[in-house]
Structure 1
Amino acid sequence: MMLFHSVEDHVLPVTNTEIIMAEVGSQSKQRIELVNSYHVATLDYDADVIFENSLVFVQELSKTL
């Protein structure tokens, strides 16, 4: 699982990501903090960080199939 979250999110508290990380049963978990974006990070300055990391994540998962 890969989880992205904005450090400065005025809609959702960062504690939500901590709960998700603790409760998800995946063996492989990665949390990426976005320091240059707010709540809709895919439309903000960190969009490229999200897209690039997501691509790598999917490519790595594809190797295991």
Structure 2
Amino acid sequence: MGTGTRQRDRIIDESVLYRVIGDEEIMREQLLHLAQRAGRRHVTLLVLPLDSRSPPAPTPSTSVTPR
């Protein structure tokens, strides 16, 4: 990792991959965006399976950043 680059670990629920928002083009763009972000060295993207028995522990801070 370069200087000033923080590791970013993200967990998403599998259900969000199936929830349709918008049309096919919007969904395709959203999935491509996730794939591109997950391809970065400092990003870890984990998917919490639908059959998971317990959700991940809440994090102390959650942020939503504009695209």
Q: TM-score, normalised by structure 1?
A: 0.32
Q: TM-score, normalised by structure 2?
A: 0.32
Larger RCO (CA within 8 A; separation ≥ 6): 2
The structure where helix makes up a greater share of residues is: 1
Largest Rg, 1 or 2: 2
